Chains A and B, each alone.
Chain A
Amino acid sequence: GIQVEQSPPDLILQEGANSTLRCNFSDSVNNLQWFHQNPWGQLINLFYIPSGTKQNGRLSATTVATERYSLLYISSSQTTDSGVYFCAGTLFSGGYNKLIFGAGTRLAVHP
């Protein structure tokens, strides 16, 4: 199966700083999604981004499917951005969207 590698595994930021999280895939994927897991454990959808670039407020994401990676940008970070960020994707040849997750990036934003 595909391998999903996220970097960095841990990230500490001062409030207001910018950051970039990366997700690499071992094989071509589609249905790529980014999630934020809140302290209560719920996975919050950030982006559904099989390719291209999307922006939502202070967050934006870019997926380069041909090179098997995706990036999540967080600008002007806030303490509420703290938590775990996951990327997930399915095999391009898969018959349905069984997401395979990375191990996550644990972000802590300090005031």
Chain B
Amino acid sequence: DTGVSQDPRHKITKRGQNVTFRCDPISEHNRLYWYRQTLGQGPEFLTYFQNEAQLEKSRLLSDRFSAERPKGSFSTLEIQRTEQGDSAMYLCASSLLQGSTGELFFGEGSRLTVL
């Protein structure tokens, strides 16, 4: 399958623990995005990479959140000292750089539950 893949699909953790999510974009896509979705809401933008460069971070991304894309391929999103408010679906998307246009493709998401 050549779609966007995310791992793990589900994560249950205790408050205060660290968690890491991984995203493998579509292979030829050089743009990668992270979104967060809480129950009953639409996805909210967290951060964006063009190749390995992180070009924008939302104010939603507190200091406890860090995202990397070390070689311009897969990306990781780490949450340190998790809080119950971090419980959400974390979605990754990728697209191909084509000027200001381009269609985003999403993975299946990683659902985080913080107890």
Chain A interface (Cβ < 8 Å from any Cβ of B): 4, 30-31, 33, 35, 40-43, 45, 48, 50, 86, 88, 90, 94-104
Contact = CB atoms under 8 A, between A and B. Distances in A.
A100 B60 CA distance: 14
A33 B95 CA distance: 13
Contacts of B89: 41
B55 A96 contact: yes
Interface string B33-49: 10001001111110010
Contacts of A40: 108
B61 interface: no
Contacts of A50: 101
B108 to A, nearest CB: 4
Contacts of A98: 33, 45, 48, 56
B102 interface: yes
**Number of contact residues on B: which range applies?**
20 to 34
Interface string B14-53: 0000000000000000010100010011111100101000
Nearest to B41: A103
A96 to B, nearest CB: 7
Given A30-B100, A30-B101, A40-B108, A96 B31 contact: yes
A31 B105 contact: no
A92 to B, nearest CB: 8
B109 A97 contact: no
A97 B48 CA distance: 10
Nearest to A90: B100
A45 B45 contact: no
Contact of B42 (A33, A90, A102): A102
A47 B45 CA distance: 20
4 interchain residue pairs of minimum CB distance: A101-B42, A48-B103, A43-B106, A42-B108
B42 A103 contact: yes
